[in-house]
Amino acid sequence: MGVAEVLFLTFLVLMLLGAPITVALGVSAMFSFMVVGQDLSTLIQIAFTSVNSFPIMALPAFVLAGALMECAGVSKRLVLIAENLVGPVRGGLAISTALACVFFGAISGSGPATTAAVGMLMIPAMIKRDYEPGYAAAATATAGGVGIIIPPSIPMVIYGVAAQESITKMFLGGVIPGLLIAVGLICMHLFKCRKMEVHEDMAAWSASTLLTSMKEGIWAMMAPIVILGGIYSGFFTPTEAAIVAIFYTLFVGFFIYKELSIKALMKSLETTSWLTGRVLIIMFTAYAFGRLLVQYRIPDQIVEMLLNFTSDVMVVWIFVVLILLFLGMFMETLAIILLVTPVLLPVMKAFGVDPIHFGIVLVCCCGVGFSTPPLGENMFIASGIADVSLEEISAKAIPFCCITIGVIFLLVMFPQLILFLPKMLM
């Protein structure tokens, strides 16, 4: 039995036994190392290499910035701006939810964080105004997936490190896809809520009210401008931007809004430590797994197999997207990225696909996974807030997931939608 067979068979058996993805990746890599007689101390070297990277420092920094902004009063001001921007139209609160997720996603870089921050404010408000609880939860869970597509994005940082691609270009590549998905969700809300009555306590749209909310939330609105403006202008790197975001949030939370407490600061640090530690462990095991894939030319074998099957890149894209959507139902986003990048990226490069194009499509597919059972993290968060079953949310989320998948195939067919902005840096 060859190394590839041992590697994948061990991984599959462990996954079927219910082992965590980290254990499955690590044990299968270690067992394969033993089979070929390779020194296990190499695993320690891989562990050091996987985390000894300047760009990876952006991960804990963006996580901390997002957690602090939720406690500092930034999220509720962004939601208020989104509400006043939309006004009293049919489905207005659902549309406001999608817009608020775009705003908060431009700060947090995390789907679950976006869902939690926006959902705590918008789901109760929607239920109060006669939206079905399941619909309110589904609207928030699906819109929360935009949080990892609108830059800055934690999964894009992970992909950039794993694929050795520019994180700044990844961020730029996510702008148009994120906005397209948001527009698609808004159109679906307008369609599904077209017969809904406008709630009588909804005030008429007012420019003065909008300007007032924008004035009160100017510091919240400045956060993504400072972060993304600094990155795209070349004033600082994504890693430096994440550090700037932390100090900006601390300043706004303590001295401007005065809503950030020492207790909330400690809670944010705890959340950051837990999430970062989990990601770094996955990175270590995934790098060991990927090292064996590259060493024994497994991606090359996959390329040869696909070339024997078809030379049509669109057929390959359909196959890849379906695999990613399937994996998204059962695995967490960061594990998917670290697992499939060393396997599929060489395959897509062989078919002439730009690595940035592939990376953005990969992240978009992971965004769908946040809203699909059985592992959809956003659904669990929204379910807890709305106090409805996962089954009800799943049913209501189907049209919104279909919209997102439709946009993904649009991005596959028209790569310039992704590559237009990144190519401006070249």
Q: What's the confidence (pLDDT) of residue 153?
A: 87
The number of helix segments (H) and strand segments (E) in the chain equals: 22, 0
pLDDT of residue 204: 62
Q: List helix spans (H) across 296-425.
A: 298-309, 313-328, 333-350, 355-369, 377-386, 390-413, 416-423
Q: What per-residue confidence (pLDDT) applies to 328?
A: 84
How would you class 342 by CB atoms within 10 Å of its CB: exposed for 0-12, middle for 13-18, buried for 19 or more? Answer: buried
Tens digits of pLDDT across the chain (426 residues): 677 778 888 888 888 888 877 788 888 888 888 887 777 777 777 767 766 766 677 778 877 887 787 788 877 787 778 777 776 677 788 888 888 888 888 777 777 878 887 887 788 888 887 888 999 999 999 998 898 898 888 899 889 988 989 999 999 999 999 999 999 999 999 898 877 765 545 556 677 887 888 888 888 888 888 888 888 787 888 778 888 888 988 998 999 988 888 998 998 888 788 777 777 777 777 777 777 777 777 766 776 777 777 778 898 899 899 989 988 887 778 888 988 888 889 889 988 999 999 999 999 999 998 888 766 778 888 888 888 887 888 889 999 999 999 999 999 999 999 999 998 875
| R_g of the chain computed on alpha carbons | 22
- Global pTM reads 0.80
Distance (Å, whole) CA 127 – CA 130: 5
Which amino acid is residue 15, in one-letter code? M
**What per-residue confidence (pLDDT) applies to 51?**
67
How far CA 352 is from CA of 7, 211, 307, 406, in Å, comes to: 28, 48, 13, 23
353 Ramachandran zone, left/alpha/beta (phi>0; psi -120 to 50): beta
Task: Give pLDDT, residue 156.
Answer: 92
Closest listed residue to residue 67, CA positions, set 241, 252, 222, 265: 265
**Predicted local distance difference test score (pLDDT) of residue 380:** 81
Evaluate whether 311 touches 303 at the Cβ level (below 8 Å): no
